[in-house]
Amino acid sequence: MARLGLERTIVDEDVYKRTVGRFREAGVLLPTFAQLRDPATIPASVRARLAAVDPDASHPLNLFRVHWFNDASRRGLAEVPEHVELPPALTGVPARIVLALGDHFPMIHAHKVLAAYGCLVPRVVTGQFDPTRHRAVWPSTGNYCRGGVAISRILGCRGVAVLPENMSQERFDWLDRWVGDPAADVIRTPGSESNVKEIYDACAALDRDPQNIIFNQFCEFGNYLIHRTCTGPALERVFRAIAGKGARLAAYVSASGSGGTLAAGDHLKAALGAKIVAVEALECPTLFENGFGEHNIQGIGDKHVPFIHNVMNTDVVTAVSDRSTDALLVLFNTDEGRRYLAERRGLDRALIDRLGHLGLSSICNLLAAIKTAKQLDLGPEDVVLSVATDGAAMYRSEVPKTVARALGGRFDAVTAGEVFGGALAAAATDHVLELRHEDRKRIFNLGYFTWVEQQGVSLAEFTARARPAFWDGLLELVPAWDAMISEMNARSGAAAALGA
């Protein structure tokens, strides 16, 4: 079970002692999951010091910004997570579609740094990862590996990014600035977003070296738990802040990706009764119809069912085309596109500016939310919540590529109208599947081939995940980990040094 990140006691005392020594030297204080869930509980002494820290620096105190409550400046705290509500003039539906903004997270401008923290820290406080000797290997399609590299650097260990070679140039530019040795610490695997198996193969080779520790986000339950206990409550805070009399949370929409962000839906369903909608690319409809293919919605891997996806609690699966997400990235991030939205669609300029907070997978979530609202006949009293996992800044290089490849080499007012009509106004209820129990079992069983046959998970571990009690039982790990985080902070002296 240690391989799956489920330990709650110290596994190796010598590793633990070396880690305490490293953190004492580096002045590393670890936030608890509870503090990231509610940053108002972070000690005042830490918050006072944090005010002078650049949110994009590799500074230990930036660990206390790895949460949803950073304000627009990314330096202070917001009472309600920053979000954008998209009007019917843009979405074409009366339901309220609201996205929490992931680009307010520190260092990487994406919420995956939260997942990376959730995966690494339980291994650290249980003595399974030695920052003085081990290399942290982060398999990803872009943002998770960047988050892992950022957290690794703060903790004083070597981080290695494994990602497909065809991801956006901005990802590689960022990695080149943050890793110790770009030639050795950025491993480019064949293919693009859809080639997750190739990432697994590269990690299998790296895993032969005992100094490499693989943090596979697709099966690390720290990823699931930090989203269920931190992202879920943050989104609940958003809903309660915007909800008027009679409002209800109808659905929570999230691209499947690693399955981590979907875990917020387990919280939102329990707290507010929301349906959980899993989204994937139409060009690779793995959950939708056991399909395969290749796509460019960067940030959502596929051709497998993540081990930490609570499939049996998922209500709807919908597929979105990368032709639409690519085209809308251009519409939202060019002068001609923004002019069209203002002059022809009457959108407020301030709202148009906020569309820059939506990267490719964020636009995918937006389109899936529209399709969900139409499928479920949602009205103005209904809220659909989702997340903007990162912003357009990670995809600037993709805009001219899309114009050249898919939009005839130019983008003018006519093209802008065609994109709006074809990608937004035409979003419909095709490729939306409301799951029956039989559908859930089909998707659940599909995961067998990845996890039991290829990755060596036992059949008992695999099938246990079909029971709701398994997922609810995981919550017991969080207070145990938080107690161990506090103990490590005390032993390292970092808590006393910072008045925490």
Name the H helices within 44-165: 44-50, 88-91, 112-125, 143-154
Residue 324 near residue 423, CB atoms below 8 Å: yes
Per-residue pLDDT of 144-180, as tens digits, reads 999 999 999 999 999 999 998 988 899 999 999 999 8
What mean pLDDT is predicted for residues 430-459? Answer: 95
Look at residue 294 in the predicted model and tell me its pLDDT.
Answer: 82
Residue 20 is assigned to a structural domain of this protein = no
What mean pLDDT is predicted for residues 127-145? Answer: 92
Q: 141 vs 21, 28, 164, 302, 435, CA distance in Å?
A: 33, 28, 6, 10, 27
Residue 396 is assigned to a structural domain of this protein = yes
Left (φ > 0), alpha (ψ -120 to 50) or beta: where does 179 sit?
A: beta
Is the pLDDT at 391 greater than 70? The verdict is yes
Per-residue pLDDT of 176-223, as tens digits, reads 999 989 999 999 998 876 677 788 889 889 999 999 999 999 899 999
Residue 189 is assigned to a structural domain of this protein = no
Is the pLDDT at 315 greater than 50? The verdict is yes
Per-residue pLDDT of 264-281, as tens digits, reads 999 999 999 999 999 999
Look at residue 301 in the predicted model and tell me its pLDDT.
Answer: 60
Residue 337 maps to which CATH number? 3.40.50.1100
Residue 158 is assigned to a structural domain of this protein = no
Look at residue 193 in the predicted model and tell me its pLDDT.
Answer: 67
What mean pLDDT is predicted for residues 292-296? Answer: 81
Is the pLDDT at 2 greater than 60? The verdict is no
Which is it for strands 186-189 and 158-164: parallel, antiparallel or unpaired? Answer: parallel
Residue 245 pLDDT class (50, 70, 90 cuts): confident
Q: Cα(427)–Cα(363) distance, rounded to whole angstroms? A: 12
Residue 341 is assigned to a structural domain of this protein = yes
Residue 168 is assigned to a structural domain of this protein = no
Q: How many domains does the chain have?
A: 1
Extract the tokens encoding 254: 């999230």
Residue 339 pLDDT class (50, 70, 90 cuts): very high
Per-residue pLDDT of 377-386, as tens digits, reads 999 999 999 9
Query: b/e map of 151-171 (b: 16 or more CB within 10 Å)?
Result: bbbbbebbbbbbbbebbbebb
Look at residue 1 in the predicted model and tell me its pLDDT.
Answer: 45
Separation of first and last alpha carbons in the chain: 33
Q: 106 vs 53, 114, 494, CA distance in Å?
A: 11, 10, 21
Residue 207 is assigned to a structural domain of this protein = no
Look at residue 199 in the predicted model and tell me its pLDDT.
Answer: 84
Residue 118 is assigned to a structural domain of this protein = no
Q: Cα(182)–Cα(179) distance, rounded to whole angstroms? A: 6
Q: What percent of the chain has pLDDT over 90?
A: 86
Is the pLDDT at 474 greater than 90? The verdict is yes
Q: What percent of the chain has pLDDT over 70?
A: 98
Average pLDDT, rounded, for the chain: 94
Is the pLDDT at 79 greater than 90? The verdict is yes
Look at residue 499 in the predicted model and tell me its pLDDT.
Answer: 85
Is the pLDDT at 3 greater than 60? The verdict is no
Residue 4 pLDDT class (50, 70, 90 cuts): low
pTM of the shown model: 0.96
Range of the domain at 302: 83-105+222-434
